[in-house]
């Protein structure tokens, strides 16, 4: 069986988040490349410096950083690394607003989310909890300007191999995977995780387009990456994945089971996003928990609407969802 390139090394960095440690990857060769950067946090910084030193390198030696998506556990230290090394940064265009001005992006995106919360009947105290959680994220990163962009079909040379960029939105709109066909190695970051299913995170569109349907995209892109037939996938958290097609089948089955629970909850009812979220996630306690749960339910409603199994109805400023009978779908 092919093995991953020998010049590619895993560096595990602790994070202050429930997901635990984040995997970043050091690719030796010219240019010395780092895939993702961890959060701006002293334990992560120390672990990065120790991991680099174990392979004979310093932060100042890094010449290129590839950021797989804009979540803070993957980008937080990037600005500091660039300041110390002068490294070039590459990422998908969708990630730039968060990299350059996270606080400004959050403010600009607030009307998008507030409309969804209003239509979904989310209580004001929950909206305030989510807003506070979003504000708190800014402490884990510094602004970074001057990044260059990469997109679907581009190629990058690192670890003595040629890697193809695949844009795989779902968990995040600007998420990329990196594919090396000779060893059949997929750097899957948070698109594919062995032990947990990545959240399809609700995000605004680019420009004035429709709201992205992140779970629909996530399932499509999982199937596409499984179609590459990777021998191994190296994720952003947790252990390596040795059966990508099998894992993708499990993830698809998991989301179908959750969709069936939503249909069962809707049986004979017209319910808002909030009324669906509470019974399906009854033990939520933090603002980020609520945001991820609402994103998950909205993603499943998008999936069920696409298949014709549910439809929304609007009244009194609220959007309510109902189960469409099979006979009506056939008609």
Can you give the CATH number for the domain in which 286 is found?
1.10.10.10
Domain identity same for 259 and 230? no
Within-domain flag for 45: yes
CA distance between the termini of the chain: 51
Domain identity same for 41 and 165? yes
Of 242, 259, 291, at which residue does a domain stop? 242
Domain identity same for 160 and 309? no
Domain identity same for 201 and 279? no
Tokens linked to 18: 């429930």
Domain identity same for 159 and 280? no
Within-domain flag for 217: yes
Residue with tokens 């510094």: 142
Within-domain flag for 140: no
Supply the pLDDT for residue 315. 84
Q: What is the pTM of this model?
A: 0.94
Tokens linked to 199: 């959240």
Of 192, 211, 242, at which residue does a domain stop? 242
Supply the pLDDT for residue 331. 45
Within-domain flag for 127: no
pLDDT by 10-residue block (mean), the chain, 331 residues = 80 95 96 97 98 98 98 97 98 96 94 96 96 93 97 95 97 97 96 93 89 96 97 97 96 95 93 96 92 96 95 92 71 45
CA pair distance 70, 172, nearest whole angstrom: 8
| Domain containing residue 284 | 251-330
Within-domain flag for 209: yes
Contact (CB, 8 A) for 73 and 38 = yes
Of 242, 277, 296, at which residue does a domain stop? 242
Domain identity same for 222 and 284? no
Domain identity same for 205 and 263? no
Which among 116, 295, 302 has a CA at the least distance from the CA of 220?
302
Domain identity same for 230 and 291? no
Domain identity same for 163 and 82? yes
Number of domains composing the chain: 2
Residue with tokens 């989510």: 130
Within-domain flag for 326: yes
Note the Cα 77 to chain centre separation in Å.
18
Burial of 324 (0-12, 13-18, 19+ CB in 10 A): middle
Domain identity same for 227 and 261? no
Within-domain flag for 113: no
Q: How many residues does the chain have?
A: 331
CA pair distance 124, 290, nearest whole angstrom: 12
Check which CATH number belongs to the domain holding 71 and give it.
3.60.15.10
């Amino acid at each position: 069986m092919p093995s991953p390139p020998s010049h590619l090394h895993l560096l595990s960095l602790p994070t202050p988040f429930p997901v635990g440690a984040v995997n970043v990857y050091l690719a030796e060769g010219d240019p010395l490349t780092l895939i993702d950067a961890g959060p701006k946090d002293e334990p992560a910084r120390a672990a990065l410096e120790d991991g680099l030193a174990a392979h004979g390198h310093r932060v100042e030696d890094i010449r290129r950083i590839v950021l797989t998506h804009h979540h803070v556990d993957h980008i937080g230290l990037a600005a500091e690394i660039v300041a110390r090394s002068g490294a070039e940064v590459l990422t998908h265009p969708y990630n730039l607003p968060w990299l350059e001005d996270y606080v400004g992006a959050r403010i600009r995106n607030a009307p998008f989310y507030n409309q969804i919360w209003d239509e979904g009947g989310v209580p004001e105290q929950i909206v305030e909890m989510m807003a506070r959680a979003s504000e708190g994220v800014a402490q884990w990163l510094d602004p970074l300007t001057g990044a260059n962009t990469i997109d679907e079909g581009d190629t990058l040379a690192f670890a003595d191999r040629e890697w193809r960029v695949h844009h795989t939105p779902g968990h995040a709109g600007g998420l990329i995977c990196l594919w090396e066909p000779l060893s059949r190695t997929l750097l899957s970051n948070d698109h594919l995780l062995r032990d947990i299913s990545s959240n399809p995170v609700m995000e605004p569109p680019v420009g004035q387009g429709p709201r992205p349907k992140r779970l629909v995209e996530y399932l499509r892109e999982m199937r596409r990456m499984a179609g590459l037939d990777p021998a191994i996938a190296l994720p952003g958290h947790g252990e390596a994945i040795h059966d990508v097609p099998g894992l993708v089948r499990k993830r698809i089955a998991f989301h179908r089971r959750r969709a069936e629970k939503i249909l069962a909850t809707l049986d004979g009812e017209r319910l808002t996003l909030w009324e669906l979220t509470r019974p399906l996630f009854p033990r939520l306690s933090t603002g980020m928990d609520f945001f991820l749960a609402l994103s998950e339910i909205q993603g499943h409603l998008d999936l069920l609407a696409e298949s014709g199994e549910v439809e929304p109805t609007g009244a009194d400023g609220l959007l309510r969802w109902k189960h469409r009978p099979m006979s009506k779908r056939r008609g």
